[in-house]
Structure 1
Amino acid sequence: MQPDLQVLMAEIRQIAQEEILPRFARVGYEVKHDGSLLTEADLATDRRIREFLQRAWPQIAFLSEEMERHEQERLLRESDSLWCLDPLDGTSNFAAGLPLFAISLALFQQGEVVLALTYDPIRDEMFSAQQGQGAWLNGKPLQCQKSGFPLCNAVAMVDFKRLPARLKCALMENSPYGSQRNLGSCVLEWAWMAANRGHLYLHGGMKLWDLAAGTLILAEAGGYACTLDGEAVFKPAMEPRSVVISPDKALFDAWFHYLQANR
């Protein structure tokens, strides 16, 4: 039996409001070994969610971005059921006072994502999904739509810093879309694509906790995603995965064709 999604969402919302919002733009940060930032809010949120999950569902193992890599790899090898948490995605935004960050949590069972949520505490937006049952935003169904936009007028969200050099140059010198954005929070970008906020997405290398929840939310909303190699994005492993997304099938096909021709 899967955990109760309503109970889970209520607790995550409360933790975010108690641990993240009061610290927004009021706490310092430190730099982790990989160059990313870590704040007191990351650690406090991680601790509260871990404690809640272990009390409520002690039979399910727990993996977090804040763990050591060897422990993350062990959990992926040994666990049939596993939570995967990013306690605060968009930490650089958070530390800089930019209101674009979120909690993201996914449940893996037998190597598949079966339950997912992404919570944006600034907007009080809870994106959620259950395998085979749909995706929702604050309880209302999410459904990807045809945009009616041609590729040349589309709005793209692109993270340039992790892209292959040749593709990066092509996008900067001869971009196929109308305009480009970057939120600085992978989990929000997945959720916003599922909510038809933007037309195209590209990322050169996401980590497991950046993509796990989003893959299910987008899929259950009827969106389209793959890697730059045309593979399924989700893989229960630690290696970064590239991401290509559109909520619109025609745009997705045109976008992927352009990317393949310019890699």
Structure 2
Amino acid sequence: MSIDLSHLAALLRETAAEEILPRWQQVQARHKGDGSLVTETDIASQRRIADALARDFPEIPLLGEEMSAEEQERVIANTPGSFWALDPLDGTSNYANGFPFFAISLALIENGAPVLGIVLDPTRDECFCAAKGQGATLNDRPLRVSAQQTRLTECIAVVDLKRIPTSRIAGLFRPGGFGSQRNIGSVALDWCWLASGRFQLYLHGGQKLWDYAAGRLVADEAGAATRLFGKGGTQAESTSNLAPRLAIAAANQGLLDAWLAFVDLPPTGADG
């Protein structure tokens, strides 16, 4: 089946313009059962995109972050072929606090792997797209990682500390690991900014399928070196379950090898 990425980009831009941006800085968040935040914007964005996908692609089911856990498990269990993976507002905490770093993330999963990915950053009007084996783009221009850095100490690292085992955090800040550290709060955009060369090293201790499916495909297709790990440190490439993944990545394989050796993770931290 042929799916036009520009059609999906138009859908996400329309959703952002009519559901996300008008409510920004005017919405209150509440906590879900897992402790994460949700707003009325998350729900409205998912509903709008779900309705459009059901109309245009009725044969492809949807896995959305704002579905119940039972509904999510049902999609995974009953869909051996294709399904959509949607995060209707990635970076809800940022959004609810007026921090301009959030996105819509949509991926098409086929036989356990993402084959299409699209991430829209509405505040910058940046749309990142990727198709498996066909490269990545930013606003329709080819996107390719370009890193002049050859040593960890020359690099900017994005590290999400909240999901790293506390016993391992201090070691990440010993000398030699990176030149500077950031944490910007949207997994989908983390992957896309790595693809764009805006930083060179990445570490996140626990991201779900709808967090990473589209963005990681963009990073991979742009030439970044990426890894996902499950429980006990085993590499976990399949999307056949909803367990969180520990993600480690870098702008190229040489930096990733050095980064993996430096961070010495995962020990047993991520479930999978």
Q: Distance in 1 between matches of 2:187 and 2:116?
A: 18
Q: Letter of the aligned partner of 2:264 in structure 1?
A: Q
Structure 1 gaps, min length 5:
none
Equivalence for 1:90 = 91
Which amino acid letter does the alignment assign opposite residue 216 of structure 1? Answer: L
SS at match of 1:161: coil
Counterpart in the other structure of 1:144: 145
Q: Which residue of 1 aligns with 2:166?
A: 165
State the Cα distance separating 1:112 from its structure 2 match: 1.4
Letter of the structure 2 residue corresponding to residue 249 of structure 1? Q
Distance 2:265 2:69 in 1: 35
1:70 aligned partner? 70
Matched, 1:251 2:252: no
Equivalent residue of 1:147, what SS?
Answer: coil
Note the C-alpha offset of 1:167: 2.0
Match of 1:240 among 236, 240, 244: 244
1:153 Cα deviation after fit: 2.3
Contact 2:225 2:249 in 1 (8 A): yes
1:175 and 1:48 map into 2 onto residues whose CA distance is 47
Q: What is the one-letter code of the residue matched to 2:242?
A: M
SS of corresponding position for 1:258: helix
Q: State the Cα distance separating 1:113 from its structure 2 match.
A: 0.7
Go from structure 1 to structure 2 and tell me whether the alpha carbon gap of 1:219 and 1:234 turns closer, same or farther (over 3 Å shift): farther
Q: Percent identity?
A: 46
| 1:196-211 equivalent positions in 2, closer than 5 A | 196-211=197-212
For 1:194, the equivalent position in structure 2 comes to 195
Displacement of 1:164: 1.9
Residue 197 of structure 1: how far off its partner (Å): 0.9
Aligned pairs for 1:37-116 within 5 A = 37-79=37-79, 80-116=81-117
TM-score (norm 1): 0.95
Is the Cα contact below 8 Å between 1:233 and 1:243 reproduced in 2?
no
Q: Where in structure 2 are there 5+ consecutive unaligned residues?
A: 268-272
Contact 2:64 2:72 in 1 (8 A): yes
Contact 1:147 1:199 survives alignment (8 Å): no
Aligned Cα RMSD in Å? 1.6
**SS state of the match for residue 30, structure 1?**
strand
Corresponding residue number in structure 1 for 2:33: 33
